[in-house]
Chain A
Amino acid sequence: MELAIFLILSMIGIASALNILIQRHPIYSALSLILTFLSLAGIYIQMQAEFIAVMQVVIYTGAIMVLFVFVIMLLNVKAEERVPNKLIGMRYVGIPLSLLLVTALGLNIFQSFSGQTLRVSDVSTSGLTGNTQSIGKLLYTQYTLPFEVTSILLLVGIVGAIIMAKKEL
């Protein structure tokens, strides 16, 4: 049962990820990316990481991708024309190289997790129920500095966006 759900979710994820590349119209690519995110969220739920799953949906699907879709629609981007590919030789270099990358990454991941199932709840600090509490606890104790640095980075991003949008303040 668990395996079947995982297989269905991962197949949807992979198919929609491929669809991002195959589709010629940017809207369809963006919508496929949303489907990929949703299936990833499903896999997170299966790993009992509900908090990460929901955050994935809220932040990536509900906020960031809406902006993507917004921009694509506002710019009224049409479907891309198939242009004759001048760099035809790149295909013969690119395919082996990307296969090599996938194998290297896959082997690495497989070796570090082989024979053990990883659940996010195992990583949790002791005495806390649910992974929301453990993530919160870890973020505000062990990883306070990276957390704060990230928020400053986001603040810089916001200020930068305002400066770019409003040249004369």
Chain B
Amino acid sequence: MNVVPAPEKLLPKDYATDQEVRWCPGCGDYAILKAMQKTMAEIEADPAKTVFVSGIGCSSRFPYYMETYGFHTIHGRAPAIATGIRLTNPELDVWVITGDGDGTSIGGNHLFHVLRRNVDLQVILFNNEIYGLTKGQASPTSRPGTKSPSTPDGSFDNPVNPSTFALGCGARFVARSIDTALKHLPVVFRRAHENVGASFVEVFQNCIVYNDDVFADFTDKKVAVDNQIFVEHGNPLIYGGEVKRGLRLRPGTVELESVVIGENDVTENDILIHDETNHTMATLLAAMPRPQFPVALGVLYCDPSESYDRVAQSQLDLTKKKKPDDSLNKLLRQGYTWTVQN
């Protein structure tokens, strides 16, 4: 009897290419790359059936470092190219890597449409609130007052929040994490991968050169515990170190408030339970302003619906069933024809 040996399980390093990684030393992208390679090993991704598609920007160099198929395309257009790939070969697992400039500025339209259509792929948006590759201009996610070569007196346009944008576009899966959250990132990536449809993940990523520590007010180890909330479906929205805090609806309103458990008769029973299928709750969590509120991380929203590519495929199958004849000669001869005799 022949025993077929089990295929050797790939390790995270097997998903790394031999290419020299060319991000700045200390860039948050390194950690995200590691987390992705770890995720690949965990989900036992087939490198031959995995495609990373990116646009332009620092983050978009990502595909060159993944030992899978990769397509480094043009600025902002990765979601459109990825859509063509999915519609052509539904067996491919497609990941779109983008940044705040690529995804919310020049490619905002494509991000909108890939999410609303619910094409089955994962979009990972590296948000560092700055244009890195073009040397430090303010981006659509930069906070007002950001001084940069193009905004010497401070930026003054209203920033976009990528996660609320995604929810507004009709995304059925929206999650958030932080570049340095080595344990949390693979969990979020895996959840995004499991979801059938467009999954959107915003990763807060530190740009060490042009926008260093812009997220330090909630990512710094010393303050993190009181300024981050990891949401989990079915669990109360509780956070904090020594002082336990929670989120509840302000009575008589549809807005959140952060309350201290044990103060003013507030108990754990008053705290909201996270329901990741609730769009309103996800929107409230994604939009929580700093510093009054913590930054919500984890799967904010997951309420799957049928994916675009699956419907496209089923329409195709149905038509082929109804019209099994694909003779081109017949196609050319349908309708009125006439014969000219000698």
Partners in one complex: no
B interface list, Cβ under 8 A from A: none
A interface list, Cβ under 8 A from B: none
